[in-house]
Amino acid sequence: MRTRQNLHPTDHIECDFCVVGAGSAGSVVADRLSEDGRFRVLLLEAGPVDNNPLIHVPAGFLKLQNDKRINWRFRSEPSPELNARSLDLPQGKVLGGSSSVNGTLFVRGYPEEYNRWAQLGCTGWSYDGLLPHFRSIERYEGGDSADRGTDGPMPVVALAVRHRLSSAFIESAKSLGFPVLADINGLRDVGVGWFQQNRQGRFRASTARTFLSRARARSNLQLLTNALCTRIVFEDHRAIGVEFIRAGHLFHVKARREVILAAGALKSPQILQLSGVGPSNLLSCHGIPLVHHAPGVGENLKDHFLVRVAHRVQGCVTLNERARGWRLLRESLVYALLGRGLMSLGASNAVLFARSRDSAVPADLQLSFTPGSYAGLGKLELAPGMTIGLWQSFPESSGRVSIVSADPNVAPAVSLGYLSAQSDSGCLLAGIRLARELFVSPELARFSVCETLPGPLRISDAELLDYAREYGTSALHFSSTCRMGIDEKAVVDPKLQVHGLRALRVVDASVMPIASSVNTNAVTMAIAEKAASIIRSSAISHFSD
């Protein structure tokens, strides 16, 4: 893999495939398309190389959320449903994208949700259609299973340490009648179990350090970092290349075969709109020439609205204390010598999948347990605490992403739309009440001093919803802004080709037809793996003609 650092604006840059974005999806696509050496692939990444040492420590994600060097640091529009609050929306702007800054958790989702994709007209995207790609991306180290892959590039491993409070959470859920899942990524319904991580030994396993690292010796793959794509270039409704800015200079790329947009659910719609593909009235407002009227570009933004229930802790040392003073020094030594302890952990330890109502199929609630508590984005509290973070798995509410300027350096407007659908409130309330049940069970209650969030004085539905509106935040699981489908608002078809255009595909979380029920990284990698197979098959058939 060539990583040229010195370019001149007069340089002639040409490739077969130009992939925009080296994140959870783009790194996978670039690796797979360059595998057999037939095609020249150019991979553009707006951020730098992933050489920040905190990236590679799993628990380092807490310190990366506000780092503007490797993070887009988007901010949402004030939301009327959240008392006019704006939220910080960190997203990876670095080699590996958000797989380099997320909580390292690997969760596949339910078979039923992918079958729903197929029912919506996305032929080939059922669970059976996606399962081979889930299996081919992963190197699962938890034993043989027909549903799990064991020889893929991405390691999927058990937590290196299991905290006492997390074990109590699992026992608490078991006491309420939930089955214990040996593998949360196997075929499942409701149940409780331990999270699995993308970790390679003691280090984070991002797509940059797995898929891309093995491509380094390939002369047909060129990587350019710090390269901001400004627009896609079209000729007669065919994508023929892209323009990007690097070191203050504008460069032009010619793509002989295809442009593959993999910039993520917030950036991909922005790039399309800047390129003249999107709602015609929006483009007209910003003086952008219309290439193709696509009203769905930027619409249907989905995300999980995260609400926390937290307790003050007694009788057990939590992550809060371990993250400072002499305990932090000890944790650093344990991690350096053994690759274990606090620093080997991701965003949460254990997870419960549950139903808000008996008729919910699949289960529509996820409750994640952390043996610590938060004082803000990326900050742990000083006093000992434990937290259940919960969300509705399939939110009905949706938002949008819209450009506010023709300048590619200006962030788009992100309107989240949380709780705009009334049905979401009932599911959220059920999740809060279930979290409270878990905390008062004997297994967890013996460690509790008191409830700190929402607080014991908030009891009624109205009081709990007021709390959610005031303190709820984003789970950072953005999707569906360039959704796949066959209706007039769909942006891409089941082969991920943009409707009405040629030689342009979108391959990232933005193509999900509905919200993924779980953390989006695993699903995004599987989408990219399947997309690469589709693209390569098409290209090879034309190559042979």
**Could you give the residue numbers annotated as active site?**
477
149 Cβ contact list (under 8 Å, min separation 6): 134, 135, 136, 137, 138, 139, 140
Identify the CA nearest to 125 among candidates 483, 503, 364: 483
DSSP string for 127-148: HHHHHHHHHHHEEE-S---TTS
* Count of C-beta atoms within a 10 Å radius of residue 321: 20
On whether the CB atoms of residues 507 and 29 are closer than 8 A, the answer is yes
489 Cβ contact list (under 8 Å, min separation 6): 295, 296, 299, 300, 483
Report d(CA 109, CA 358) in Å as an integer: 19
Report d(CA 100, CA 157) in Å as an integer: 17
Report d(CA 14, CA 35) in Å as an integer: 18
Element (H, E) at 321: helix 319-322
Identify the CA nearest to 344 among candidates 191, 141, 468, 205: 205
CA distances from 219 to 39, 41, 223, 298, 388 (A): 10, 10, 11, 36, 48
Establish how many alpha carbons lie within 13 A of residue 315's alpha carbon, considering only the half-sphere containing its beta carbon.
11
Report d(CA 195, CA 103) in Å as an integer: 11
> Tokens at residue 293, please?
């009227």
On whether the CB atoms of residues 233 and 239 are closer than 8 A, the answer is yes
* Count of C-beta atoms within a 10 Å radius of residue 405: 14
> Tokens at residue 281, please?
């009235």
- Give the 3-state secondary structure of residue 360: coil
* Count of C-beta atoms within a 10 Å radius of residue 531: 26
Between strands 13-20 and 249-261, the pairing is: parallel
On whether the CB atoms of residues 346 and 58 are closer than 8 A, the answer is yes
Report d(CA 201, CA 467) in Å as an integer: 40
CB-based burial, 465-477: b 16+ in 10 Å, e otherwise: bebbbeebbbbbb
Query: CA torsion angle for 154, 93, 306, 348 (degrees, to 10)?
Result: 40
Quick check: bond before 90 cis, omega within 30? no
Residue 544's identity, in one-letter code, is S
What are the backbone dihedrals phi and psi of residue 28, each rounded to the nearest 5 degrees, phi first?
-65, -50
Identify the CA nearest to 169 among candidates 200, 192, 146: 192
